[in-house]
């Protein structure tokens, strides 16, 4: 039975929320909407009274595609909402901070995406899944991806025709590198000699820099280099990379400002060197990352670069074995860039070691706020937070934050 409800707020996943709670995808606060209640969601939603912040989605695929959640809202609304998400997370922990104006990456700037591909009777279907659905939506006019990435979808289709099945979905991760397209595939059929030869032929035909299948490199015509500062790094297949060059530059700028003139820096959860290598232009850096393949790539990039200061690497699980105070006290500044779980164990050790400056980069405002509370209770000042929106039109929020010991200032 159709029901009318009023949306009171936006949830962390970008859904409108009405009292109950009832969750309504693609609704905005203040809107009156109608639809059919199904459990705690409203199906077949129709807008009765639109919000002044509602806009026409810039992408024609938006209604069917699940790649974006917030194209129906104005850029100004999304920017304010993402700032408020961070502010509310901090407030829930009793922490206050000055928020700088948000930095938003431009449309068509995503340099990496995982395309879902399924074989069909007529060929293939490639694109993004619909919201909470196994239906794949084709995305020829996607407003999110870099045009060079969008042009590479035929590569994903060719790989599915060769190594996919009608029952399963092939996940093809496409990444733009300095040397061309870096492709990593999962969910396909097992490798054997003839199949590997056929995959290598596809890599040659499409001019791929590198092709990996279930983590195994099949072809590497050119090193799929990512440039971090003065260094060229060849990440392992599927390794973490900031979503846009623009967003990476914004985060790096914030980290550089926080670290300042520090001469000895620890970069924890360092990945392949997004921050370590640029910081090594002015400081000695110790980079710690859980994946040994990433620290190896980082080290090789540093060794090939010119004009960088000493950089050491360590493969170490910082969740189970955080750096301890006696290891941390030799650093003037610490950079943290943990995954969504945050850095609870490592932050505890930081409060004991008390390095003068901490640059915290986060992809989860909730765990960041938890860790920020721990730091501020231990005598750190949260000087400012810079929200960076490189996942445009999504509910995802990233940030960089400046911490310093209260008696030092920031």
Q: What is the pLDDT of residues 362-371, one digit of tens each?
A: 999 999 999 9
Q: Where in the chain is the domain with CATH 2.40.50.1070?
A: 112-226
Active site (annotated) includes residue 363: yes
Most confident of the following: 3-7, 119-123, 334-338 = 334-338
The set of residues, in sequence order, having a beta carbon less than 8 Å from that of 284 and lying 6+ positions away, is 263, 264, 265, 309, 310, 311
- In percent, how much of the chain has pLDDT > 70? 99
pLDDT for position 44: 87
With a cut of 80, say whether residue 406 has pLDDT above it. no
* Least confidently predicted of 35-44, 284-293, 311-320: 35-44
Residue 74: count other Cβ atoms within 10 Å of its Cβ: 15
Condensed to tens digits (0 to 9), the pLDDT of residues 164-200 reads: 877 889 999 999 999 999 999 999 999 999 999 999 9
Q: How far apart are CA 392 and CA 143, in angstroms?
A: 10
- What's the mean pLDDT in 99-128? 95
pLDDT for position 409: 47
Peptide bond preceding 21 in cis form (omega within 30 of 0): yes
The set of residues, in sequence order, having a beta carbon less than 8 Å from that of 156 and lying 6+ positions away, is 115, 117, 126, 170, 172, 174, 183
- In percent, how much of the chain has pLDDT > 90? 91
- What's the mean pLDDT in 85-91? 97
Q: Report DSSP letters for 203-218, one per residue.
A: HHHTT-SEEEETTEEE
**3-6, strands of its sheet edge to edge:** 3-6, 32-38, 41-49, 22-24, 16-18, 9-10
The set of residues, in sequence order, having a beta carbon less than 8 Å from that of 91 and lying 6+ positions away, is none
pLDDT for position 132: 77
Q: How far apart are CA 39 and CA 369, in angstroms?
A: 31
Q: Which residues pair with 217 in a beta bridge?
A: 212
pLDDT for position 408: 54
pLDDT for position 274: 98
Homologous superfamily (CATH) for 3-54:
Nucleic acid-binding proteins (2.40.50.140)
With a cut of 90, say whether residue 203 has pLDDT above it. yes
Q: What is the mean pLDDT of the chain?
A: 95
Q: Where in the chain is the domain with CATH 2.40.50.140?
A: 3-54
pLDDT for position 407: 67
Is the Cβ–Cβ distance between 105 and 244 less than 8 Å? yes
Where does residue 369 fall: left (phi above 0), alpha (psi -120 to 50 degrees), or beta otherwise?
alpha
Q: Which helix (H) or strand (E) is 350 found in, with range?
A: helix 344-353
pLDDT for position 121: 87
Which of the 8 DSSP states describes residue 191?
Answer: P
pLDDT for position 165: 77
Residue 263 in tokens: 């001469």
What is the fold of 79-106+241-405? Rossmann fold (3.40.50)
Residue 250: CA atoms inside 13 Å, Cβ hemisphere, count?
23
Q: Which residues pair with 387 in a beta bridge?
A: 399
Condensed to tens digits (0 to 9), the pLDDT of residues 217-275 reads: 999 999 999 999 999 999 999 899 999 999 999 999 999 999 999 999 999 999 999 99
Q: How confident is the model at residue 131 (pLDDT cuts 50, 70, 90)?
A: confident
SS3 content of the chain, % helix, strand, coil (to 5): 25, 30, 45
Among the listed residues 65, 142, 272, 363, the single catalytic one is 363
Binding residues for S-adenosyl-L-methionine: 242, 269, 289, 337
Q: Report DSSP letters for 137-185, one per residue.
A: EE-TT-SSB-HHHHTTHHHHHHHHHHH--SSS-EEEEEEEETTEEEEEE
Binding residues: 242, 269, 289, 337
pLDDT for position 181: 97
- What's the mean pLDDT in 285-310? 97
Q: What count of residues does the chain have?
A: 410
Domain 112-226 has CATH 2.40.50.1070: yes
Select from 39, 68, 51 the least CA-distant residue to 9. 51
pLDDT for position 410: 45
């Amino acid at each position: 039975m159709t029901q009318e409800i009023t949306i009171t707020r936006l949830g962390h996943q970008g859904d409108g929320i009405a009292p109950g709670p009832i969750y309504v995808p693609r609704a905005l606060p203040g809107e009156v909407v109608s639809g059919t209640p199904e459990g705690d969601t409203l199906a077949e939603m129709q807008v009765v009274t639109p919000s002044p912040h509602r806009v026409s989605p810039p992408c024609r695929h938006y209604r069917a595609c699940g790649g974006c959640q917030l194209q129906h809202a104005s850029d100004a609304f999304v920017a304010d909402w993402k700032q408020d998400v961070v502010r509310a997370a901090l407030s829930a922990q009793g922490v206050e901070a000055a928020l700088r104006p948000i930095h938003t990456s431009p449309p068509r700037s995503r340099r990496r995406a995982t395309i879902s591909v399924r074989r069909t009777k007529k060929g293939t279907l490639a694109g993004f899944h619909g919201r909470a659905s196994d239906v794949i939506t084709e995305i020829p006019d996607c407003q999110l991806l870099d045009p060079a990435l969008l042009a590479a979808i035929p590569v994903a289709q060719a790989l599915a025709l060769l190594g996919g099945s009608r029952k399963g979905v092939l996940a093809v991760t496409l990444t733009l590198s300095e040397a061309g397209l870096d492709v990593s595939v999962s969910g396909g059929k097992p490798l054997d000699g003839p199949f590997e030869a056929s995959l290598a032929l596809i890599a040659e035909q499409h001019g791929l820099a590198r092709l990996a299948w279930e983590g195994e490199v099949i072809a590497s015509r050119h090193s799929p280099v990512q440039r971090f500062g003065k260094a060229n790094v060849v990440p392992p297949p599927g390794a973490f990379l900031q979503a846009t060059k623009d967003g990476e530059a914004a985060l790096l700028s914030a980290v550089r400002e926080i670290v300042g003139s520090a001469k000895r820096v620890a970069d924890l959860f360092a990945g392949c060197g997004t921050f370590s290598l640029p910081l090594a232009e002015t400081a000695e850096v110790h980079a710690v990352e859980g994946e040994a393949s990433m620290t190896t790539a980082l080290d090789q990039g540093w060794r090939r670069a010119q004009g960088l200061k000493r950089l050491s690497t360590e493969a170490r699980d910082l969740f189970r074995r955080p750096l301890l105070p006696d290891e941390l006290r030799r650093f003037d500044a610490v950079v943290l860039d943990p995954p969504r779980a945050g850095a609870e164990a490592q932050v505890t050790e930081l409060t004991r070691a008390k390095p003068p400056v901490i640059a915290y980069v986060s992809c989860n405002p909730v765990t960041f706020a938890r860790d920020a509370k721990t730091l501020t209770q231990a005598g750190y000042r949260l000087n400012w937070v810079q929200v960076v929106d490189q996942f445009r039109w999504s509910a995802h929020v990233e940030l960089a934050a400046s911490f310093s010991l209260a008696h030092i200032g920031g």
